[in-house]
Structures are given as C-alpha cells and as structure tokens.
Amino acid sequence: MIAATNVFLFHLTLSVLYIASTFPKPDPPIKITNLVVYVHNYFTGADASSITVAGKQNPTADAAGGFNILQFGTIAVVDDPVTEGPTAESKEIGRAQGSYINSQFDGKGLYLFFSVIFTGGQYAGSTLEIQGSDIFVRKEREFGIVSGTGFFRFVEGFGIMETAFIDVANLRAVLKLNLTVKQF
C-alpha cells in the first residue's frame, strides 16, 4: 500500500513538473539605460569644433566667418567634444560627429543627425545615433535615438536637450543631452 502511494506521488510530481515546464516563459526584462552628457558646440574660438559648409547668405556675416547657422538653409558639420559635466574642464568621454541643418524658415530650428562616439567612461567603444529636430528657442527639445553600436546594439530611445550655456554673439553653446534608451 505504501509502495503504491509512493509510485502515485512520484507520477504526480512528474506530471506537475512537466506541466510547469510547458508554461510560456516570461519575456526577458527590457533594459533601460539613462545617461546625461554635455556637448560643446563652438563655431568660434581657438577650440571651435563646428563649421558651416553651405548656406543661402554670403558667408561673412557672423563671428565664425562662415555661413550663419542661425539662417534657414545653413548646413554645419560638427565634431564636438562630449563631456561628463557642463564645464570645459569636465572629462571628455566622446565626440558628437555629424551635421546640423537649419531647417526652419524663421531660422529658429535645426535638424540634427550625428553620432555620439564614446571614447571614455563606461561606454567607451560604443556609439549612439541621434536624429531629430532642435527648435532651440524652446527650453526643452525632445529628439530621437534611432540606434547604436557596441553596448548600445539594438537600442531605441529618446533624448531631451537643454541649453546649459549660450553665447549667441560668438555662436558658442553647451548642450545638455539627457538620453534614455531601451534595449530588447
């Protein structure tokens, strides 16, 4: 009798284990990564890292001696330092390389597309691809993060940009980028 009960319990245990193993497994959790970086966008000065390469107006009007990035139609190419904090002395952790196009008739909006190429810090060797509009007269501008490489493979996300410092006359700005990406 005891033996029969044990055999029955053994089979019951096997059945329960089998049924449990056939239930769908929960999806792996989505990983969210948030990081805040600062981009130093200078069109003038010894440390200038941005140039305008094409535009509608004659290229002499502004301090940079090029096409004015604040005019509709101007195209800039940038290789801007990316730092951990807002000051120039803050540790450089990468470069923002790509282009800005002034794409708003009244001159107050840019279309941005650039890579953040991390060279230092915990994401060194990885990149993020930024794309979106920057209506820079607004305090906060939201833009898209369309993909990435290395640690950021398969990511999608969004960023919020704020102007941390601006010297309009000399076309020098520090931009705070608060980046949030989702990894599947």
Binding site for ligand NAG (CB under 6 A): 36, 160, 178, 180
CA pair distance 165, 146, nearest whole angstrom: 26
Least distance in Å: CB of 142 to ligand NAG? 9
Which lies closer to ligand NAG via its Cβ, residue 49 or residue 141? 141
Q: How many DSSP H helices and E strands does the chain contain? A: 1, 9
Cα distances (Å, whole numbers) of residue 51 to 28, 73, 171:
45, 14, 11
Least Å distance, CB 176 to ligand NAG, is: 7
Nearest residue to 161 via CA among 94, 43, 82: 82
CA angle 143, 179, 81 (to 5 degrees): 95
CA 88/CA 47 separation, integer angstroms = 10
For residue 41, the minimal CB distance to ligand NAG (Å) is 19
Smallest distance, Å, CB 38 to ligand NAG?
A: 11
Cα separation, 18 vs 146, whole angstroms: 42
Q: Which is nearer to ligand NAG, 101 or 175 (by Cβ)?
A: 175
* Amino acid (1-letter code) at residue 147: S
Q: How far is the CB of 180 from ligand NAG (least distance, A)?
A: 5
**Nearer to ligand NAG by C-beta: 129 or 142?**
142
Q: Which residue number places its CB atom closest to ligand NAG?
A: 178
CB 179, min distance to ligand NAG, A: 8
Report helix, strand or coil for 7: helix
Nearer to ligand NAG, 94 or 157 (CB): 157
Please give the Cα distance from 92 to 81 (Å, whole number).
7
Q: Measured from the CB atom, is 61 or 160 closer to ligand NAG?
A: 160
